[in-house]
Structure formats: structure tokens, C-alpha cells
Amino acid sequence: MHVDIGNALAVEATPGVAEASLDRLDDRVAAAHDRITAGVGDRDFGYAGLALPADIDPDAIHAAVEGFDPEAVLTVGIGGSALGAETVTAALGLDGHHTLDNVDPAAATRLLDGLPLSETLVNVVSRSGTTVETLANLRVVRAALADAGLEWTERTVVTTGESGPLADLAAAPDLPTCPVPDGVPGRFAALSPVGLLPAAALGGDVEAVLAGGAEGRRALSPSLFDCPAYAYGAVAYALECRGATTNCVVPYAEALEPFAEWFAQLWAESLGKDGLGQTPARALGATDQHSQLQLYRAGRRDKLVTLLRPTGREDRPIPAVDADALSYLEGESLGSLLAAEFEATEAALAASGVPNVRVELDRLDAEGVGRLLYDMEAACVLAGELHGVETFTQPAVEWGKRAARGLLGGGEFEEAAVVDEKTTLRIE
Amino acid sequence: MHVDIGNALAVEATPGVAEASLDRLDDRVAAAHDRITAGVGDRDFGYAGLALPADIDPDAIHAAVEGFDPEAVLTVGIGGSALGAETVTAALGLDGHHTLDNVDPAAATRLLDGLPLSETLVNVVSRSGTTVETLANLRVVRAALADAGLEWTERTVVTTGESGPLADLAAAPDLPTCPVPDGVPGRFAALSPVGLLPAAALGGDVEAVLAGGAEGRRALSPSLFDCPAYAYGAVAYALECRGATTNCVVPYAEALEPFAEWFAQLWAESLGKDGLGQTPARALGATDQHSQLQLYRAGRRDKLVTLLRPTGREDRPIPAVDADALSYLEGESLGSLLAAEFEATEAALAASGVPNVRVELDRLDAEGVGRLLYDMEAACVLAGELHGVETFTQPAVEWGKRAARGLLGGGEFEEAAVVDEKTTLRIE
């Protein structure tokens, strides 16, 4: 991964970071790097995520899916238990990965009706084994398989913690299982069975994904000027402090759309605490130039725009036609048009003084996506260190879980009572 | 559409709107309503969009697709020429609508390779007829059809302005065409052939969509306390002024994911000017409770959260199983679980004092989506009136278009020279 922060400097952008400020910040980056290195070495909670590329044995993943040669993989999981797997399979261009990561009845029916169930591997993922959406969906899937005359125990793998209801459920029929790595929150678990099992089942090169991650770990260094991951994390942090409270993430590759969702969780749950944290806003290049660029250039000065692309990619020519208005397209390709739009948009933002950072991969392949995921995790951990927040927890999510459980009759929770006291001002 | 703004009041939320402030704002709403009514009556530029439900003749749409009974519709368009059609077909649950709205070579190849080309209707949409992405993609599609031994002129409909290169292109082979309505920017054109043709070709009830829009028009009234659309627009405006510079749009229905994209364009391009405008951040309920809720509750106090759901929907039971941890799910359904999560999340946001607005449709059907689109357009126009911005233009987009054209050799543009002068600080 390569990062160009030139358009985030104070000489270019408002808000922007003065080079002298970056120099001073670099001392704090060095100190944070020491803490990160120690935490990774000791496999401390959360930091253990940055040790995954070396700690994960791909053979255990292959063993779990051995004997399956599925046409489709259906991941039943939500949040960090789904987004990493979606990101990896999409980036690798693997067809056939689907996720049941919501409890929308219409969407569940649509998905299950469209799947070749007899050729589908069901991949259930929940660290705690108590995630309500996941357990509800597993019941729905089990019933759908039974209705199709299929035995769920013959086509299901489970990724979960060492103990818990899902581990128990897998034990009796002796389902193939993979462990969720210890001390790694879901959003930092993409480079583990949580993120890699569907890709492995569909023939993806998970060794190369892990190798890309390992390359990211080797590239960590005490100075932001020598380490793309830290350069990104430090600049995002510095810009947030200076007013860029939104981070617009714009991949110029449709295969990276799920990456933008994964990044949005990583950034929001890790850094959104203590009244801090950039709001991730997802977009897609070049499409959303026709949707969001007006706002980015002319709206509030509260945005960092992250422009992301692979520099090498398969191309497709724009064929010549006998008549049309755009003769200058002769000899161009979709790739050259996309590249021109990327650079034009970057310059358009700079011309308005909107800070933007260019993130580039050499290629969107297995190694490239492994590196990207690792580097963005490291960037996030660094930003958390610089802010001094608890990067690896998500305490604000619990209130709503208790309220929902109370509403469903799953126990006495005072939060559920609050739901009934809602202030109402309804306009019909 | 129904709107509940109770959780956006100052007694509940920070930022929040005092009821007395809303009363005072209502005088301005009445004045804005007068301007809107006059603009709609005169079909003034932009305001004409709010006259569409009555001005559009669905028979013209049916005539354009007559004789086609396609398995798939491929819309070639971008931004406002694609998002409305995606929103309508998804909301109606119509299978087979695809869009080529980017110039990503890999994605184009993937899409075209997967389509049943001989059973596909190509729907080309561009008001000006000069949109570079659309014309490039049309060339690619024409070549793909030719490679498959198919005649593009036998399976293509064109929606464009009265004159221009695309109108010329359609004239010679006498392709079926639909007009882009006069004086209506693309993002306000969903209730026209721009948004409705694919649905019509796939058997959707476009008359009912238009009827829903017409119902929205009839519901406009001079007071925000009597008009859901204005209530939403006025509260979003008031909260933005008080610091809610981000609008997190969270539909609790997967079929409304494209709606969130459509809304993001509507809000960003219409209101993102003069240093104003909320940044739309798209999310999906219940899934993104596991991704964004931590940030919404514990991050910066700069967010309005818009929670959107249909109150009536097809449901799916959660089957009983012999053993699992969540016995309280017995007798529940995916729909009841989703409803509990919606209300728990709303209460969780309120408990943290985060302003949120509940938007409800009775049902996600053709009439419901027509009403939703109309009401959100009216909300946006009202917010633009209250801000005093030029709601219907997008001047900040032009710079980048000129730069890209210059880079591609399409003429001399000083913007292209700026691209080469980029400030670089690259970390490898």
C-alpha cells in the first residue's frame, strides 16, 4: 500500500496539516509504535489482531472446508463476522459468496429462494455464539434446508469461540469448526478464519492474503514518513483534530465496495467514543462524482476524502463507433477513463482546498487485499493510540441489545421500559 | 409517509430543536411553501420536479417498452440517471434490473458476461446526451451485443433531452425514446421515465408509483405540523443549523438500500453548497447496529439519525429448534425481531441524547415508494428554501469534468494542467 498525503498538507488544504506539525506528531507516532509493538508481541487484547497474519494456520481453514466443493457459500453472521469475508471474496472476484447478515424477512426469503441449497456450504460465524440475529438466521436456514430435504449437519461449518452456545451446537453433530482467534474483536479478525473461510471454500488463495498481511506487519516502522499505514492513520487523526470530522472513503474499484463497508465498521466502532471519531461516509468512484462531489467541494470544510485505487488492473477498450459526440474517446479504455477521472477528482478537491489522501495498491489481488486490510487496521490502531481511546471495545452498543432482548421477553431489562416512554411528535 | 420528530426535540436531544423554535420556523415554512407552490405551478426550473406525478403520462413509458418482454434490463446511465430506477425496481422487488453506472473495466466485464444479452433490454439515459461515462459504456455494450451476434438497435431504448448527441444517435435507427422532463434535474426525475422505465419493462406498477407521488403532492401544506415531508425537511434544516452536520440514513429494509443511495445524491448535490449541507452517511438496519451504532451514540454530537421502516411487511417465522441458547425467540419472527431492534436502537439513541427522526411507510409497495420519493424531494426543496441555496444546480461538479476531458485530449482545459502540478508527499 502506498499513501500520498501531499493534498492534506496545510499549504494545500483547509483543514490541513503543516509539515512542521507532522514532524512533531512523528515523535508521538514513534511512542505509539512502541506500545503497538509490545501489545502485538504480548498478544494483548485487540493488539493481537495485528499478529494474525503469522498466527493463523491456513491449513486449519482448508481442513474445515475439506470435502466441500460448494457452488455457493452462505455466511450467517453480522458486523465483524461478515464484513471481512465479504471484502475478501469481492476483492478476489470470487463468485458465490452470500451473507445473511440482517433479519429482514423479505431479504432472507429472496436470498434463500435464490440459492442452490444442495450445493451451498453454510458458514456460521459468531464469537460469543449468542448473537441474536445470527442464531435466528441459523434457525431459518436450518428450516429451509430441511424443507429442501437436506441435512444441515452435512453442509455447515462453524467459526466461534472455544465455548458458548454455538460451540455446543457444533459439538453434538461434530461439525467442522474453526476458532475465532483469542483477543481479537471481529472487526480486526478479517485475516483469520472469520474473514478467510468463504474465500478458501471458493478456491481463493488465502495464503497470499495472509502473505499480504504479513508484508504489512513487516512494513510497520517508528516513523509515519516510512510507513504507509501510520502515515494514513496519523494524517486522518491530525485532520480530525483540525476539523475533518468526516472521512469520505472512495474506492475507484467496484470490487472494493465491501471494503468501504468493512472500513466504515473498523473506523466507527474503534474510534467513535468519548465524543471523538470521524464519521465514515462511503462512496464509489467514479460513480459518486455524480452524487457526492458537489458536497465534498462546496459543502462544509469538515471532510477528509480518501481516494483509493489499484494502479494495475485488467482493462477493457472503449470500441470505436461510427458516430458519436465524443471523438476524443478513440483509443481510450475504460481503465484510462477511470484513471483520468480519479486524477481529475483529486485535483478538483485540491483546487477547492479540500484535504484528500491518495491510497494506492499495486494490484487488487489476494496479496494486495491482505496488505490493505492489515494496513488499515494498523492505521486505525495508531489513530486510537493518538486519541487515547479504547480502540478495541464497543460499549455503546450494549444498551440497545439489552433493550431489544427485554422487548422480546428475554428477561427483565430496564432499557426495555425506556422504549415505551418515547417522546412522540408525530406528523401524519 | 409518517414522521415522528419527538426524539429531535431539545427536551430529548443535543443538538435538538425547542418546540418554540419550531413554531417560529413554521412561519418560514409557510412562506417557503408559497414559493414552492408557485414554482411548481409555473414549472420553474427544478420546482417542475414536484409536478411530475401529474405531468408524466405512464402510457408513453409503456409505449417505449412495448414489444419487449425482457428477462433483464440494463440501464446505462450514472448518478441521477441511474439511482431512481435502481430505487424503484429494488423497492418493488423486481428482479433483473442492472446498471452500468461506472467505468470500472472489471465490473463491466463481470456484468456483461453474466447477462442474458439476447433477453436484455438496454436502457440508455442521459439528459444532455454527452455524459462521458454513459457514452463510453454504450460503446462497450454495443460491441458486446455485436460480439454476441445481436443488433443493438433492436433492443435499446433511449431516455434523453429533445436534442443532443444521444437524441441524434437514437434518431437514425428510430429507437424507442422517452423524454427527460423539461426543467427537472436528474436527482428530481425519479418519478418520470428516468426512474420508471426499467420498472415498467419488468412488469412493475408504475401507475401506482405515480399515484403515491401524487398523494405526496396533495399532502403538501403550509405548516410543518400538518405535512410529513416538510416536518422532515424543516427538522433536518434546524438540526443542521444547531450542529447536526451529518445525516445518517438507516432504512430497516434491504429493499431500501438503493433508496439510501438516491437520498444521498438528492441531499448532497442539492444542499451541499455555500459551505452548507448535511453529509449523508448511508447505513442499513439492523445490520449496521453492529457497525455504526457505537459511533452514533458515543462519537461527536454532529449527527441526525434518520430511522426508516415500512410498518407492514411480509414476515417469516423463526422456526423452533431442539436446542439453542435463545429460548426467548420461540414464537418470534424475523419481522418481530427487526421491529424490536428498530425500537431498541431508536431508544438507545434517545438515551444518549442523539437526535433521531422516525420515518414510516405503511407498506413498501409501489404507492409507498412513490410517496417516499416525492416526500423526500419536497423535504429537500424545503430545506434548500430555508437555507437560501440554489437547490437545483451542481456547479462544483464542472471543474473535475473539464479536467478529465482535458486529460483525455478532448480539448484545451486549464484544469487539466493543474492535475500535473499536484503536491506530492508519498510514503511507500
Note the pLDDT of residue B327. 82
User: Mean pLDDT over residues A92-115, rounded?
Assistant: 98
Q: Does residue A321 register a pLDDT over 80?
A: no
CA distance B334 to chain A (A): 5
Q: Which residues of A touch B219 (CB under 8 A)?
A: none
Does the pLDDT at position B325 exceed 90?
no
Q: CB of A37 within 8 A of CB of A220? A: yes
Using the beta-carbon criterion (under 8 Å), do B321 and A225 form an inter-chain contact? no
Residue B295 and residue A268: Cβ atoms within 8 Å? Answer: yes
Q: What's the pLDDT tens digit per position in A63-75?
A: 999 999 999 999 9
Using the Cβ of B154 and the Cβ atoms of chain A, whether some distance falls under 8 Å is answered with no
Task: Give the CB-side neighbour count of residue A220, counting CA atoms within 13 A.
Answer: 26
Topology of domain A49-204, per CATH? Rossmann fold (3.40.50)
Residue in A closest to B230 by C-alpha:
A427
Q: Which position has the grid cell 443549523?
A: B241
pLDDT of A326: 76
CA atoms of B39 and B50, how far apart (whole Å): 9
pLDDT recorded at residue B176: 97
Domain boundaries, chain A: 2-37+211-387, 49-204
Per-residue pLDDT, B322: 64
Residues in chain B: 428
CA distance A166 to B176: 57
Interface contact flag, A351 B404, Cβ < 8 Å = no
How distant is the Cα of B287 from the closest Cα of chain A, in angstroms?
5
**In this complex, how many residue pairs, one in chain A and one in chain B, have their CB atoms less than 8 Å apart?**
466
- A residues 324-363 near B, CB within 8 Å? 324-326, 328-329, 332-338, 340-341, 343-348, 350-352
For this structure, is A269 an active site residue? yes
Residues in chain A within 8 Å Cβ distance of B286: 78, 102-103, 133
SS3 A375: helix
CB A114 within 8 A of CB A149: no
**CB within 8 Å of chain B, chain A residues 96-135:** 101-110, 129-130, 132-133, 135
Interface test with A, best of B334, B338, B392 (most A CBs within 10 A): B334
3-class SS at B300? coil
Q: Which chain A residue has its CA at the smallest distance from B277's CA?
A: A299
Q: Look at B12 and A423 and tell me if their CB atoms are within 8 Å.
A: yes
Each residue's pLDDT tens digit, B175-226: 999 999 999 999 999 999 999 999 999 999 999 999 999 999 999 999 999 9
**Is A182 within 8 Å of chain B by CB?**
no
Contact at 8 Å (CB) between A337 and B142?
A: no
Say whether domain A2-37+211-387 belongs to CATH 3.40.50.10490.
yes
Query: Which active-site residues of B does the annotation give?
Result: 269, 290, 401
Using a CB-CB cut-off of 8 Å, the residues of chain B touching A345 are: 400
Q: Mutate which of B220, B295, B362, B380 to disrupt the A interface (most A C-beta within 10 Å)?
A: B295
Q: Tell me how far CA of residue B230 lies from CA of B45, B223, B225, B297, B356, in angstroms.
A: 20, 8, 8, 26, 16
Mean local confidence (pLDDT), A339-347: 98
**For A244-279, what is each residue's pLDDT tens digit?**
999 999 999 999 999 999 999 999 999 999 999 999
- A229: closest chain B residue by CA: B427
Q: pLDDT, tens digit, for every residue of B3-51?
A: 999 999 999 999 999 999 999 999 999 999 999 999 999 999 999 999 9
Active-site residue among A133, A261, A269, A360? A269
If pLDDT is split at 50, 70 and 90, which confidence band does A173 have? very high
Enter the C-alpha cell of residue B118: 439476447
Residues of chain B contacting residue A164, judged by C-beta atoms under 8 Å apart: 325
pLDDT on residue A328: 87
Answer yes or no: do B268 and A282 touch at CB < 8 A: no
Q: Output the pLDDT for position A323.
A: 61
Closest Cβ–Cβ partner in A105, A143, A340 for B335: A105
pLDDT in tens, B47-91: 999 999 999 999 999 999 999 999 999 999 999 999 999 999 999
Q: Which residues of chain A are within 8 Å of residue B340 when distances are taken between CB atoms? A: 404, 407-408
Segment A186-199 mean pLDDT: 98
> Using CA atoms, how far apart are residues A324 and B132, in angstroms rounded to an integer?
11
Residue of A nearest to B339 (CA): A404
Residue A290 among the catalytic residues: yes
Distance from CA of B42 to the nearest CA of A (A): 27
How many whole angstroms separate alpha carbon A222 and alpha carbon A21?
A: 17
Rounded mean pLDDT, B161-165 = 91
Q: Tell me the chain B residues in contact with residue A254 when contact means C-beta distances shorter than 8 Å.
A: 102, 104, 106-107
Residue of A nearest to B418 (CA): A347
List CB contacts (< 8 A) between A426 and chain B. Answer: 2-4, 6
The answer for A 64-103 residues in CB contact with B (under 8 A) is: 78-80, 83, 93, 101-103
A351 with B418: Cβ contact below 8 A? yes
- Host H or E run for residue A361: strand A356-363
Among B22, B124, B241, B290, the residue to mutate for chain A (most A Cβ within 10 A): B290
Cα–Cα dist A373/A380, whole Å: 11
- State the catalytic residue, choosing from A290, A412, A422, A428: A290
Q: Answer whether A24 touches B (CB < 8 Å).
A: no
Residue B323 has pLDDT above 80, yes or no: no
For helices A257-271 and A366-387, what crossing angle results, to 10°? 20
Structure confidence by residue, pLDDT tens digits, A142-169: 999 999 999 999 999 999 999 999 999 9
| Structural element, H or E, at residue A387 | helix A366-387
Instruction: Say whether the ipTM exceeds 0.85.
Output: yes
What is the reported pLDDT for A252? 98
Residues of B in contact with A268 (CB under 8 A): 291-292, 294-295, 299
- Cβ contacts of B248 within 8 Å, gap of 6 or more: A279, B281, B283, B292, B296, B303, B304, B305, B306
For A331, name the nearest residue in chain B, comparing CA atoms only. Answer: B408
Give chain B's mean pLDDT: 96
Residue B387 C-alpha, separation from nearest chain A C-alpha, in angstroms: 13
- Chain A: residue whose CA lies nearest to B107: A254
Angle, in degrees to the nearest 10, between helices A334-351 and B132-147: 170
- Sign of the CA dihedral B285, B291, B292, B295? positive
pLDDT in tens, A25-56: 999 999 999 999 999 999 999 999 999 999 99
Q: What is the pLDDT, as a whole number, of residue B275?
A: 98
Q: Is the pLDDT of residue A330 over 90?
A: no
Each residue of B352-411: pLDDT tens digit?
Answer: 999 999 999 999 999 999 999 999 999 999 999 999 999 999 999 999 999 999 999 999
- Residues of B within 8 A of A397 (CB-CB) are 289-290, 293-294, 297
Average pLDDT over residues A385-404: 97
Of B105, B255, B427, the CB nearest to A334: B105
* Minimal Cβ distance to B343: which of A316, A318, A407: A407
Give the gap in angstroms from C-alpha A102 to the nearest C-alpha of chain B: 5
**B70 Cβ partners below 8 Å, 6+ apart?**
B96, B119, B120, B121, B155, B201, B202
Question: In this model, does residue A322 exceed pLDDT 70?
Answer: no
